[in-house]
Structure 1
Amino acid sequence: MAQWALISQHILPVETMNELYPSSTFPIEVRHYLRDWIEKQNWDMFALENVEQEANAHALLNQLVMMLEAHSHQITNVVDKMKLMQISKHMSMFQPLQFAVMVRDTLHKERLLLRDWAQVNNTPQHQQFVAKEVGFSSTQNVDLLVLKVLEVQDLRQKIHQLQEELNWEKQNFESLQGAAGILDPPMLEVTQLQKHIEQLAYSVNTMATKRFQLLAECVDCLDQCQAQLISTLKIWRWEQYKATIGHRFDDNLNFLQMWCEQLLGVNGKLRQELMLIVEPVPELQERLGQLLKLLVQSSLVVDKQPPQVIKTQSKFTTTVRYLLGETIAPGKPVVLKAQIINELQARNLNISLSDNVGEVINNTAILEHNTASKSTCATFRNMSIKKIKRADRKGSESVTEEKFALLFSTEINITGSDTPFKIQIISLPLVIIVHGSQDNNALATIIWDCAFSEIDRVPFAVPERVPWKLMCSTLNSKFMSEVQTEHCLDENNQRCLAQKIFDKPDFNDDFSNMMVSWTQFNKEVLPGRQFTFWQWFEGAMDLTKKHLRSDWSNGLIYGFIEKQHLHLILKQKPNGTFLLRFSDSEIGGITIAYVTAADSGEHNQIIKNIQPLTKKHLDFQNLGDTIWHMNDLRFLYPHFPKQDVFAKSSSNKTTGGNDYLPIRLHPISAGEETNSNKADVANILHHTENHHNSAMYQGNVAPMESSDMAVGEFSPDPRAFSDMATGDMDLDLNNFLNFS
């Protein structure tokens, strides 16, 4: 909230504030209550012409409305509560992309205004703002704290000088009194000296009182700054976790390390100042000791987290960083130890861990200081979990739902303190598996935990049900992150996913506030299938990541679509119009639905589906080449000639010559594979090994022309297809490719 902190410090005129936050579009209450969340989002990617970002904008708008509603329930004032509820209702009717652009522009205007103001005022803290756009507001607090400490030190020096002068004048006064019997000093001189001594004594006492008050203020301020630091460390860790589902994350710890070092330095100076007070102040000394202990213990951070799904007997790495590394007392090396803990132990870290729940190999590492990067890290390079002891499971709970963590601990001495400190930190939650087949379900546990956990939760508590709008936003973020694309799941994709997880294919109303459960996500199989929603979604995501990234990013793949919607949009389209959708019937499959003439007549149309293409198909031949060879496919929905849209992804851009092996495609129905078919496939593979210029493996098949059906001909057989109403019953390319 650094930017809002500066805006709200009355540095802008009221008229400007009203212009920035008009009540009809972007009320100032929204900016205030959601200040942290607003400044963490990437609004710069939105523009009115970027229609592909509509789904992302919609997800952000839904999240904003939901958080406003949550805030309204926490407000006790009825007027404020009603106003916030009205605002949330009003904002829910916004056009998502226009909303996102409005927030983007508002934040940009804020930055420009703050920069102009900072240049005019030319204060140190705002010079820093000019350099960094917007810095952490806590930096200003630390700067103020440092100034207060300097003032304490300055007062001490002045008190010392005054005390010396007072001692000198007292000595003079005593000398005058001692000489009274020999030579009477003038009465005026004695009186003036007495007044001067009294004034000096008063000044010393006044300054001492002020210094003590200022010391107490410094300890309070240090407490506040340290609380902000620890809160920021928690947020950093939380954002590190959110990166699992694709959220933006800055992993740079240098700023936090500098912050830790500053607070440690202040703590040391304040302890020294307390030691120089004649009468000890145990309350302040104890507070500073507790703050020191908390700071030292909070400065251990898991910089590079271990994999969150770990297979036993496999190697992995992790790095732990100590943010106060330069203050470690020289001498004995600091050795960090790692051990595996279960969820119950993670909730009771202060209790001695008597029960060993697993054996970790290579579980020690030394904290080593890197002079160049000024970082102090312990890197565990070849860790492995040899065995794991699982807790008793409840009901239908599986091993892939059980969460563990790595606990890193050591004892450390820092310069300036005689007492060693025991410090520890736990990793993000882990799921331990014993076989690769468990990976998908284990990842589902991590995704649910990451997406819906609270920042200060009890380890590793998560809700059993969440609103669909949160789930949908998570799926979209994860998909874009995993595929490494800017092309999001659009509104149609999201509606299809909702219809699928809720088993409501005919429901077209708003799913946003419907509650989806963990059971629906990855416990129950989808109706008529042998896999869960997450297994199906993850399969499509993995296929896109490995084989279809460019096609998806270029908008060539429609993606998730229900069959009813498919019929609706392809209805009345010309024969040969096709679209690419993720298969309903097979994990990790993409199928081609296209319009063709019915057997009963040229004017009657039906929609057919080619058997899903899977990883093994696309390893054999990419999507562009596969579509290029199919003459019945002419126009990518809604009306783009396939020669135009697949020119880049297909390797068949020129007419072939004698170097190309001719191909004839013979479709067969699913389930009709014969020994002859298997032999054909085996012959293809054997033939390819001896012909490195094989068109199907080298991508050098000549392009199809409508008048040239001899090469790459696609001859549809009615047995190979079914109407959309009967499900996916399609072609298996591996079983019908035969070299002529």
Structure 2
Amino acid sequence: MAQWQHMSQLIQCLSDEIVNNLYPPNAFPIEVRHFIAEWIESQRWDDFVLEKVEQESQARALLDQIISMLQSIAQQNANVVVKMKLMQISRSMTGFQQHPLQFVVLVRDILRKERALLNTSTQLPSPPAYQQYEGGEPSFPNMQDVDHLVLKVLEVQNIRQKMHQLQEELNWERQNYEGLQGPIQQNGLDAKKSEIQKHIQQLEYNMNAMATKRFQLLQECVDCLDRCQVRLLSRLKAWRWEQCKAAIGHPFDENLNPLQTWCEQLLGVNGNLRQELMLVVEQLPELQERLRQLQQVLIQSSLVVDKQPPQVIKTQSKFSTTVRYLLGEKVAPGKPVVMKAQIINELQARNLGSVPGDNVGELINNTAILEHNTASKSTCATFRNMSIKKIKRADRKGSESVTEEKFALLFSTEITITGCDTPYRIQMISLPVVVIVHGSQDNNALATIIWDCAFSEPDRVPFVVPERVPWRMMYSTLNSKFTSEVQTKHNLDHYNQHFLAQKIFDKPDFADDFSNMMVSWAQFNKEVLPGRPFTFWQWFEGVMDLSKKHLKTYWSEGLIFGFIGKQHLHLILKDRLNGTFLLRFSDSEIGGITIAYVSATDHGAQKIQNIQPFTKRDLEILSLGDRIRDINHITLLYPELPKHEVFKKFYSEPQASPNGGYIPVSLHTKVGIEARSSMPPPHMADNFPVHQFQQAFSPQDSITQDMMETAANSDVEFSSNPPVVFPEDLPPGNTVDMDLESILQTLNE
């Protein structure tokens, strides 16, 4: 936000024309720049280029976040004019949703122009500390609000001190005047009395004027404190919202120190103002009550779940979570503050005004001490070895499964703040969690969390989510989650987007835009895909897991085409040279990647073939790069990149000869006719069944029994330089090469 702090000063020296050109009212009004300045400056706008269509989903995600934040700020704003203005801006900005790249490039250019203006400015002006703009809101960033408020409070304190000095002078003059009163009058005393009386009247006038000024300043201070606190609470809510969105891959700055400083400043200002009100002769109960309420809200709103618990929790498993109190340095010393955690269901989360009644679950190690760390200046309660022993589930509605039921952890304690007479009960709930009892439920539970974090509203009733969302929101979520999990900057492109839409909507022939079509929770992870035994999310998560563990570099360098349908595949590969291939994720099984390539038919025509998908287990045995190296049928990566140039760095180095006189063994991939042409004569296969072949290896050999069993179910061959034999009853494409003489010798031994 440092750039905006300087820019907000420079703007006041610029003409209206320049300001309107810099912040187009119909595209990116200055109000947007002001209210979310900190968030805007934390994003990477310079990465966006209008021509890079693959960035569209990322751009749309940023646009959606801005609209959501503006709506949230509007709802929290007490000023009706500002609220209506921000709502109007958020509605107008939805017009960019069809062209999000234009919007983010616009923001990029605005920030660049700001930097250019600041660089060419030789001297920043010093505008008034507080200035109103339409709607009555202060036209400076949030922390400047607090600085201005502190100055106002100092002004109140100075007036009080001056009034005290005036009162002392007034008392002295009154005493002098009374001393001149009496039956005996002396020459010249009348003039003296008149002079003192005029001075007394002037002092009384000054006292009344200062009292009026002090009252006005006190009102202004309380109003300003109210506005600052509304913005602070809005920023805290935005922080929690960003923390929630981080679960689907959105960027998140978890630093709470600026917000803690803000909380502490506002509490200090509140205390100073309450002291000033106590020193006012005439009581001001309305201002005192407002300060009391503001203090209570601030104290009760400063509890934050710093480190969220896992959002999918398996019973009887340990997990940790950390709660931070932003006013920790203001906690009264003495008795330790014990934070308690309990698990609550959806109904209890909706009624947090009262202490939850029935326990819906039993938590182990559910208490922690709120401790202050002087080094980090943070006050936290860390639950290190918490566990859910058992859970009580609600009656399920319809076809709802246990992995769709959401709970939360409720953290609560009673706290006393220095300078406050009574203790306060503070509490905060975690993000929704799904409780499972077996690892097989993890995938479906994660789907519930993804849907909740992606599509819930900021101020929803816990834990309500829409049943349907536009495809553009669904795709943005899939892209964010994929790039975050795989830890790559290479986004899904529009080809991937279209295929994913075709798959989830079961419309393989639909060529139009899917953006505004509504996708349901059932289509996402309740109904299995047509002709498949799995849901869309189960399939997508399998691809994500495979890419994360084995394909990250390939994907990041753009070597994997990824999500593409067979119709589109045939369209782009037709008329390509024989041997042209591309890598695509399997459409028919979870967590597989296959190679589609162009080959010649027996009659000289062309056909497109798909090699049996490689799964996570396959790639653990032999990497994708080595498999591509071994397959002679493929030579050019689409469109026409020689495979040995592109994939050479992924090839493994030849292994050195093992010790102990063993024959070196290597693994190779063979496909189709390559494998069948290497099959042994029938009489040899009959004399050497597969199980005997596997038993020929002892555990001490270079290849283990597990590897042999794996090879029998995959497309891997074991080979050495001497002649080789193959059991005939191995399936086509699955071959095992070994030196027959060595095997027979081993059997004889």
TM category, shorter:
0.7 to 0.9
Give 3-state SS (helix, strand or coil) of 1:409's partner: strand
Q: Which residue in 2 is equivalent to 1:149?
A: 153
Question: Which residue of the partner structure matches residue 217 of structure 2?
Answer: 214
2:180 alignment partner, SS class: helix
In structure 2, the residue matched to 1:611 is 612
Please name the residue that 2:744 is paired with. none
Contact 1:663 1:739 in 2 (8 A): no
- Residue 172 (structure 1) aligns with: 176
C-alpha distance 80-419 of structure 1, shift in aligned 2 (>3 A): closer
Unaligned runs of 5+ in 1: 127-134, 698-708, 721-730
Distance verdict in 2 for CA 1:15–1:151, change over 3 Å: same
One of 526, 551, 554 as aligned partner of 1:551: 554
- Listed one character per residue, the Cα deviations across residues 620-679 of structure 1 (whole Å, up to 9, x for unaligned) are 11100111111111111111111111111121579999974366766579xx9xx99x97
Matched, 1:622 2:623: yes
1:289 lines up with 2:292 in the alignment: yes
How many Å apart are 1:490 and its aligned residue? 0.7
| Alignment deviations for residues 405-449 of structure 1 (CA, whole Å, 9 cap, x no partner) | 100000011111121111001011101000101111111111111
Contact 1:7 1:110 in 2 (8 A): no
- Give the counterpart letter for 1:267 in structure 2: N
TM-score, normalising length: structure 2 = 0.84
Cα shift at 1:484: 0.2
1:262 to 260, 265, 275: 265
Give the drift of 1:93. 6.7
State the shift of 1:80 in Å.
13
Q: Which amino acid aligns with 1:103?
A: V
Structure 2 contact 70–87 (Cα < 8 Å) conserved: no
Partner of 1:328: 331
Aligned to 1:337: 340
| Gap change, CA 1:116 and 1:301, over 3 Å in 2 | farther
Q: 1:723: which partner in 2?
A: none
- Pairwise CA distance, 1:33: 9.1
Match of residue 573 from structure 1: 576
Q: Which residue of 1 aligns with 2:459?
A: 456
CA distance in 1, matches of 2:185, 2:241: 83
Alpha-carbon distance between aligned partners in 1 of 2:585 and 2:338, rounded to the nearest angstrom: 51
1:285 CA displacement: 1.3
Which of these residues, 265, 280, 283, is aligned with residue 283 of structure 2?
A: 280
CA 1:65–1:171: 2 relative to 1, 3 Å:
closer
2:49 is the alignment partner of 1:27:
no
Helix, strand or coil at the partner of 1:120: coil
Alignment of 1:530-545 (within 5 A): 530-545=533-548
Compute the RMSD of aligned alpha carbons. 4.0
- The one of 303, 319, 341 equivalent to 1:316 is 319
1:68/1:85 contact within 8 Å kept: no
CA contact (8 A) 2:35 2:141 kept: no
Tell which deviates more after alignment, 463-472 or 6-15.
6-15
Equivalents in 2 of 1:123, 1:34: separation in Å? 16
Deviation at 1:598, TM superposition (A): 1.5
- Residues 393 and 93 of structure 1: CA distance in aligned 2, closer, same or farther (over 3 Å): closer
8 Å Cα contact 2:414/2:426 also seen in 1: yes
Q: Partners of 1:685 and 1:12 in 2: how far apart? A: 86
Aligned to 2:647: 646
Shift of 1:209: 1.5
- AA partner of residue 378 (structure 1): A
Letter in 2 for 1:298: S
Distance in 1 separating the partners of 2:699 and 2:58: 46
Amino acid at match of 1:168: W
CA distance in 1, matches of 2:30, 2:511: 30
1-structure distance, mates of 2:94, 2:56:
20
Q: Is the 8 A contact 1:306 1:427 kept in 2?
A: yes
Q: Provide the C-alpha distance between the structure 1 equivalents of 2:629 and 2:610, rounded to a whole number of angstroms.
A: 16
1:383 maps to which of 377, 380, 386: 386
Does the Cα contact within 8 Å between 1:320 and 1:377 map onto a contact in 2?
A: yes
CA contact 1:664–1:711 (8 Å) conserved in 2 = no
Task: Give the corresponding residue for 2:715.
Answer: none
Does residue 465 of structure 1 match 2:468?
yes
Residue in structure 1 matched with residue 17 of structure 2 by the alignment: 15
**1:440-455 → structure 2 map (5 Å cutoff):** 440-455=443-458
CA offsets per residue over residues 551-601 of structure 1, 9 Å max, x none?
Answer: 1111111100011000101111111111111111111111111111123x1
1:482 and 2:499 equivalent?
no
Q: Distance in 1 between matches of 2:497 and 2:441?
A: 27
Q: Tell me whether 156-165 or 189-198 shows the greater mean CA deviation.
A: 189-198
**Alignment of 1:438 onto 2:441:** yes
Report what 1:197 is aligned to.
200
Task: Measure, in 2, the Cα distance between the counterparts of 1:533 and 1:712.
Answer: 48
The match for 1:226 is: 229
5+ long unaligned stretches in structure 2: 74-79, 131-138, 677-684, 708-718, 740-749
Check the 8 A contact 1:576/1:596 in 2, yes or no.
Answer: yes
Q: Which moved more, 1:186-195 or 1:221-230?
A: 186-195
Offset, 1:380:
0.4
| TM alignment of 1:388-399, pairs within 5 A | 388-399=391-402
State whether residues 412 and 425 of structure 2, in contact with CA within 8 Å, keep that contact through their aligned partners in structure 1.
Answer: yes
Quick one: which amino acid aligns to residue 411 of structure 1?
Answer: E
State the shift of 1:386 in Å: 0.4
Match of 1:589 among 592, 596, 599: 592
> Residues 119 and 527 from structure 1, CA distance in 2 versus in 1: closer, same or farther, beyond 3 angstroms?
farther
Q: Mark the CA change 1:159 to 1:684 in structure 2 (over 3 Å): closer, same or farther.
A: farther
Question: How far did 1:68 drift?
Answer: 11
Which amino acid is 1:266 matched to? V
Taking a change above 3 Å as real, the CA distance of residues 359 and 480 of structure 1, as seen in their structure-2 partners, is same
Structure 2 distance, partners of 1:63, 1:278, is 50
Amino acid at match of 1:596: S
Measured after TM superposition, the shift of residue 393 of structure 1 is 0.6
Q: Displacement of 1:610 after TM fit?
A: 1.2
The alignment-based identity, stated in percent, is: 63
Residue in structure 1 matched with residue 716 of structure 2 by the alignment: none
C-alpha contact 2:67 2:90 (8 A) present in aligned 1: no
Task: Tell me what 1:706 maps to.
Answer: none
Amino acid at match of 1:628: R
Give secondary structure in 1 for the equivalent of 2:382: strand
Amino acid at match of 1:622: S
Between the aligned partners of 1:122 and 1:681, the Cα distance in structure 2 is 87
- Does the residue aligned with 1:415 lie in a helix, a strand or coil? coil
Q: What is the distance in 2 between the residues matched to 1:429 and 1:346?
A: 10
Higher relative contact order (CA closer than 8 Å, sequence separation 6+): 1
Partner of 2:517: 514
Q: 1:185 to 1:65 in 2, by over 3 A?
A: closer
How far has the Cα of 1:288 moved from its partner? 1.1
SS of 1:611's partner is coil
Q: Distance in 2 between matches of 1:619 and 1:549?
A: 14
Summarize the Cα distance change of 1:463–1:44 in structure 2 as closer, same or farther, 3 Å threshold: same
CA distance in 1 between partners of 2:306 and 2:91 (Å): 41
Equivalent residue for 2:743? none
